[in-house]
Structure 1
Amino acid sequence: MVKKEQAKRNRKRAGERRTIHFGRDRVSSRPADLRESPKYIFSLAKPPIGWGVLIVGVVVFVILIYLVNVFLTITLAVVSGFLYYLLKKENRSRRLTQRAVGYHLAGNDEQALQVLQRALGVYPRNYRASYLMGFILSAKEKYGEAIPYFDQYLEYNYEFFTVYLLSKCYYMIGELGKAMELLMQIPPTSSSYLEGLLLLADCYRQQKNLERAIETLNQGIKFAESSGHKLLSRLRLSLAEALHARGDYRMALEQYETLYQGDEDNLAIKERIAELKKSLYE
């Protein structure tokens, strides 16, 4: 009996020691709970809070990557479809323009204009169709209608021959200021330079500014003489007319005689020479 009591007391003391070693912070008379032992705690294999956050973050990152890929795929598909649609319209417009060129070369300008209208309706930025539209309209003396088409073409390709055609349209509808502003932009290196000087001189003559007209024509004659340009005769004729209008009959006569030496079959020049000689010697 005594031994049993002694064993009971020994077990109680052992429980108190285990409670002190493994317990929370105080001595307890109850036996130590196995769930408070480090071996039991680690046996549960519960990940700490940091690992949980990391796992959730990785999952969220993977989901975001997937969503971004889906979004990029959809965006790429939409953009590709839109570009294909534009390319298809552009190709159709080009085919219509080629057909219009055929009509124009065959002399059927009315049919060419109708086809060009369709081409521009399909693809408004078809600049070749715009140029051909303006060219045909100006050739048919519909200068006011040709102006917007030439303007549209110049937005794409600022070509000085087209600048000359546009200035001629303004000249023909009486807007001399706009015509002269465009003509002054044509440089001597352009093939349309002398045509531009001729038209510019005509603008000055219509404004009764004969001095500037004569100055412009002399500039053109010097350039044409140095390059042997075929417009030299037209420049001399225009200069002779300007001098005649200013009353410089002798200088005008010199220009007419120079022209007549190169073209003795020109009866109009011969008559003007006779008229000027009569005015000088009377």
Structure 2
Amino acid sequence: MPRFISIPRFFLLATLLAVTTAHAADPARPPSLKTIPVPEPSNLGDFITDKQQAIALGKALFWEMRVGSDGMTACASCHFNAGVDSRSNNQVNPGSPRVHADGSPDPDIAFDFGPNRQLAAGDFPFRQLSDVLDRSSAPLFDSNDIVTSQGVFAADFIATEAGKSKDKVAYKPDVDGFVFDNKNVRRAAQRNAPSVINSVFNFRNFFDGRAQNDFNGINNWGNRDPDAKVFKALTPAQVEAVQISLNNASLASQAVAPPLSDREMSASGRLFPDIGRKLLRMSPLALQKVHNTDSV
């Protein structure tokens, strides 16, 4: 007598076979990043003689508030909470990255959420549809405002002053709209600060990828900037401007941008020699509390 498989059992068997086959075909899972060596520049030894001291210096610079023109804005100000910025007041950019169809700048300085606004859950999403299940449905609300990270007040750099945490600056009207109750408020960057956790494994950094994998020693553009040069000591009394390139160094490319940004950490017109002259006269992290077990 022939034996038959019932329809429900047949479909169950077919499903199990399909799942088993699909599972067997899955590629191996990538290993934990804890097991992956940190990618380093192949020519790091040409520039660093004491790696541990360089790491300690980098950590101090990341947390040092006096790197900012206002004496209280560090790189860590936007990355202190699980590697990102958890602040929710005065964290909106009105859409300054906006461009025309041909790519030319068309900055928006009209806020929908701010400035100096305390964001709330009800503000999100910034594009609200009449039918949340139909992306082509008519929007009830649409804003090009960007939740980002606040930085410094609008100002022009004048000079650093010996022993002072704050740079000497000239505050100016904020033409980009960061004004509340007729007073300037801290400016907000064009994008939210990305997480620094595991960012050493990113081939490029920043949300738009402009922090190149190759570091030129000057800015975030890597080998795309043929004019970027640093001074090389030929003798104790002679230097030469040379081009350099460190691969696997997108974090270095990223790190040199915010300290000079007039939205993030700096008054307009400040240069790295100004920051260097300021910090060389100071003890690292002298105005901040550091736990006695904190180290690198």
Measured against the shorter chain, the TM-score band is under 0.3
> Which structure would you say has the larger Rg?
1
TM-score, with normalisation over the residues of structure 1? 0.22
Higher-helix-fraction structure: 1
| Bigger strand share | 2
